[in-house]
Amino acid sequence: MNNKRSFFERLTGAVKLEESQETEERIEMHSPARAIYEEEEEGHLTVDVYQTPSEIIIKTMVAGVKPEDIDVAITRDSVTIRGKREEDRTLQMDDYIHRELYWGTFSRTVHLPEEIDVEESEAIEKYGLLILHLPKIDKNRQTKLKVRGQS
């Protein structure tokens, strides 16, 4: 059997029903902690990244994840979004007819084309859409410093 996942499955975290059942069988054959560590694969968020003259904007879908369970780490030149989508454990695998939604941990790192102002950046989640507003650093901005004398 071909165990390689398709590009779409790796990109979205989709799992074939047969593969999911095989994974459950393998997990049952190992100790729970060890099996979860070995079998869990991190999902890869899809993102839209665009810019205006003053900021870079990143949009991604995080439906089903509480805002407090989303971790956004930013530096001047990159953004990493991490989280975990919890699955409803009341259903048994035999109850599924078709299964494509991704459940588990996910992350995505985006390298930015320009430096941003980390302190002025903001993240907003609304109806499952996470929007990051990342103001660009204006390298041409000038300001005057007043020179103080020391007594």
Residue whose tokens read 């904007």? 57
User: How far are the Cα atoms of 52, 114, 138, 139 from residue 143, in angstroms, in the given order?
Assistant: 23, 21, 12, 11
- Residue 32 pLDDT level (bands cut at 50, 70, 90): very low
- This prediction has a pTM of 0.64
The conformational region for residue 119 under phi > 0 = left, psi -120 to 50 = alpha, else beta, is: alpha
* Domains of the chain, CATH where assigned: 7-135 (2.60.40.790)
> pLDDT, tens digit, for every residue of 70-79?
999 999 899 9
- Residue 3 pLDDT level (bands cut at 50, 70, 90): low
- Residue 68 pLDDT level (bands cut at 50, 70, 90): confident
Cα angle vertex 85, ends 83, 89, to 5°? 150
